[in-house]
């Protein structure tokens, strides 16, 4: 991996993050907020790769102020997601809807009031990270992917449907997010089935979304037992799909069919 390619990737992904942040500050649009948070996840994945492979500490520490903004935005996003779940399951609870809407509106106002400070924080973090971004060789990148794939394989073999499964999804997404940057380094070293991994992490995401919905509708505020039963029934099929997909994980993750192959 060439240093200039690393810097180019950092610049591009960081610029995209700023675009979505500015869009949200200007409009308060939920999709802009979502894309802003996704970009932070992509950058965090990239820095995890660089820090792990170079053994150079400090990258994640310098990114920590940006992660705090991510969590700040997450409060708004969680309330929005709760409203979406309410609509999906046709919840009729005016008090709940009003409360979540208040969290969103007050959160947006507070976030936008802090907008200039957030922009400065992100700018300072970028300057610091760009100065110390290490060069990482192809061999180290391939080793990183190999080790993480093996770790996920072991995790999937022993973890049940609990927080460990959600951790597996996070690890898979680190590899998927970094694939565009790492593709050349992996070429000829480790076959990488991005489509399979994306399908698996999406399935785990569906399971986790259903779990969040189940917890929400089980809360004392809602206590909607019929909806909880419906969600649990739905998640049985999702779990079955995940179990099937995760079987022989390492082989599936490193098997890529050539174009035109039968």
Q: Express each pLDDT in 71-85 by its tens digit.
A: 999 999 999 999 999
CA distance 87 to 54: 47
Q: What confidence tier does 259 reach under pLDDT thresholds 50, 70, 90?
A: very low
Residue 254: HSE in the Cβ half-sphere, 13 Å Cα cutoff: 18
Q: What is the mean pLDDT of residues 129-157?
A: 95
CA distance 78 to 99: 12
- For residue 257, the model assigns a pLDDT of 65
Q: What confidence tier does 188 reach under pLDDT thresholds 50, 70, 90?
A: confident
Q: What is the mean pLDDT of residues 226-239?
A: 96
pLDDT tens digits along 22-72: 999 999 999 999 999 999 999 999 999 999 999 778 899 999 999 999 999
Q: What is the DSSP string of 86-104?
A: HHHTT---HHHHHHHHHHH
CA distance 12 to 20: 13
User: Position of tokens 């998640």?
Assistant: 235
CA distance 8 to 209: 34
CA distance 202 to 177: 13
CA distance 113 to 109: 6
Q: What is the mean pLDDT of residues 1-13?
A: 93
Q: Other CB atoms closer than 10 Å to residue 152's CB: what's the count?
A: 25
Kindly compute the dihedral angle of the four CA atoms of residues 181, 182, 187, 190, in this order, to the nearest 10 degrees: -150
CA distance 41 to 169: 13
Look at residue 260 and tell me whether its pLDDT is greater than 50.
Answer: no
Length, in residues, of the chain: 262
CB 56 within 8 A of CB 134: yes
Q: What is the mean pLDDT of residues 215-242?
A: 96
Task: Work out whether the CA dihedral 144, 145, 147, 148 comes out positive or negative.
Answer: positive
Q: Residue 115: which H helix or E strand, with range?
A: helix 115-132
Q: Residue 255: which H helix or E strand, with range?
A: none
Look at residue 261 and tell me whether its pLDDT is greater than 90.
Answer: no
Supply the pTM of this predicted model: 0.94
Q: What confidence tier does 262 reach under pLDDT thresholds 50, 70, 90?
A: very low
């Amino acid at each position: 991996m060439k240093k200039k390619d690393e810097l180019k990737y950092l610049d591009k992904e960081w610029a995209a993050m700023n675009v979505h942040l500015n869009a949200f500050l200007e409009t308060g649009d939920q999709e802009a907020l979502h894309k802003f948070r996704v970009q932070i996840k992509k950058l965090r994945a990239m820095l995890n790769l660089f820090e792990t492979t170079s053994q150079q500490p400090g990258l994640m520490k310098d990114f920590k102020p940006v992660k705090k903004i991510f969590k700040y935005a997450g409060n708004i996003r969680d309330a929005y997601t709760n409203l979406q779940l309410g609509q999906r399951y046709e919840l009729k609870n005016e008090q709940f809807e009003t409360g979540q809407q208040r969290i969103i509106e007050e959160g947006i106002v507070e976030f936008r009031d802090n907008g200039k400070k957030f922009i400065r924080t992100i700018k300072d973090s970028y300057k610091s990270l760009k100065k110390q971004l290490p060069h990482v060789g192809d061999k180290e990148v391939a080793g990183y992917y190999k080790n993480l794939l093996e770790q996920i394989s072991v995790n999937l073999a022993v973890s049940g449907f609990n927080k460990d499964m959600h951790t597996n999804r996070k690890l898979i997404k680190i590899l998927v997010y970094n694939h565009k940057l790492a593709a050349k380094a992996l070429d000829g070293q480790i076959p990488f089935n991005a489509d399979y991994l994306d399908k698996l992490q999406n399935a785990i995401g569906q399971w986790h979304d259903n779990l969040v919905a189940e917890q929400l509708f089980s809360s004392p505020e809602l206590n909607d037992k019929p909806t909880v039963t419906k969600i649990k029934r739905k998640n049985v099929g999702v779990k079955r799909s995940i179990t099937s997909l995760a079987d022989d994980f390492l082989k599936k993750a490193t098997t890529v069919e050539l174009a035109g192959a039968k």
